[in-house]
Amino acid sequence: MAYCVDIYNFPGSIEYEYKWEGNYGAKGEKRAARERPSPWQIELQNQINKKNRIRRTIKANFVENDFWLTFTYRKGERKDMQGVKEDLNNVLRKLARRYRKFGAELKWMRVIEIGARGGIHIHMIMNRIRGADTDVLIKECWQHGRIFFSNLYEEGGFEQLAQYMAKVPDEEERKKKGLPRKLTKEEYSYSTSRNLIRPKPERKRYRRWTMRKLLLYGPKPTPGYYIVTESIRSGTNRYTGYSYMRYTEEKLDRRI
């Protein structure tokens, strides 16, 4: 086998991931020395994969000026995890009904976070109803405290936002927040509405090209697109010993 490319198509961009398939490289590709990954390195790679899944899900379902929300509880009203999830489910049911009245479908992604003093708050990405005061609808449905509104900003392909949603508090951060124990998966995992698009790549296989040619001359953009220079990543996978390349293209009309 030679190499393959996984292609992810989004409304305004395309992502490419070139990598080797199987146990052998293409003709002319010499396998570099490999390393055995440590448990820490495996955990780190799992986090990177999780972040990329979140980032691509955001790109496939949300656009600039959709909402980044923080739901908080008023002073004196502190809930446990189960109570917070019940409150959130009630709000989402109400909002789903109101969205349908405007002919829209509610989409969301959320992560529940424990603050420095142990209080729980909710971060959520939510789509905006075009032509409606969506922020007013959301405020009317949340009766437990304040909501902080921000607009999504797509610079970097939502990289920072995905990084935030994928993070797992480490030992130092838990101590800084005064948390007495390691958090359960429920307390740091993200959740989404069921109606989201889950991006799946189109895979193409090549048997005649070599990665050397791609690394030497660089990728060529698709007509109507330009390659985001900062997105290009290439090198040798330290665990497989084979070359790889990743990059993103964006539509030319978005550059104006």
How far, CA to CA in Å, does 142 sit from each of 99, 127, 148, 192, 228?
A: 15, 17, 12, 19, 40
Same-domain pairing of 21 and 145:
no
Q: What pLDDT is stored for residue 133 in this prediction?
A: 95
Give the Cα separation of 146 and 179 in Å (integer): 24
Q: What is the mean pLDDT of each run of 10 residues along the chain (256 residues)?
A: 85 90 51 69 83 95 94 88 92 97 97 79 95 94 95 82 81 49 60 97 78 81 95 80 87 74
Instruction: Verify that 162 and 218 share a domain, yes or no.
Output: no
> Do the domain assignments include residue 165?
yes
Listed residues 143, 172, 192: the one ending a domain? 192
* Dihedral of alpha carbons 18, 22, 23, 26, sign: negative
pLDDT of residue 136: 96
DSSP per-residue letters across 208-237: S--HHHHHHH---PPTTEEE-GGG-EEEE-
Q: What local confidence, expressed as pLDDT, does residue 240 receive? A: 66
| Count of structural domains, the chain | 2
Among the listed residues 95, 115, 103, 120, the one whose alpha carbon sits nearest the alpha carbon of residue 193: 95
Q: Which domain holds residue 90?
A: 60-192
Co-location of 127 and 183 in the same domain: yes
> Do 132 and 207 reside in the same domain of the chain?
no
- Position 24 scores a pLDDT of 47
Q: Are 181 and 204 found together in one domain?
A: no
| 49 lies in some domain | no
DSSP for 162-221, please give it.
HHHHH----HHHHHHTT--SPPPGGGT-EEE-TT------EEEEESS--HHHHHHH---P
Please provide the distance, in angstroms rounded to a whole number, between the alpha carbons at the two ends of the chain: 41
The residue among 192, 213, 228 that closes a domain is 192
CB 241 within 8 A of CB 14: no
pLDDT of residue 177: 46
CA distance 205 to 187: 40
Structure tokens at 252: 């030319």
List the structure tokens of 93.
Answer: 């049911």
Is 13 in the same domain as 112?
no
Shared domain check, 68 and 185: yes
Last residue of a domain, one of 146, 170, 192: 192
pLDDT at 27: 47
- 217 and 182 within one domain: no
Same domain, 74 and 126: yes
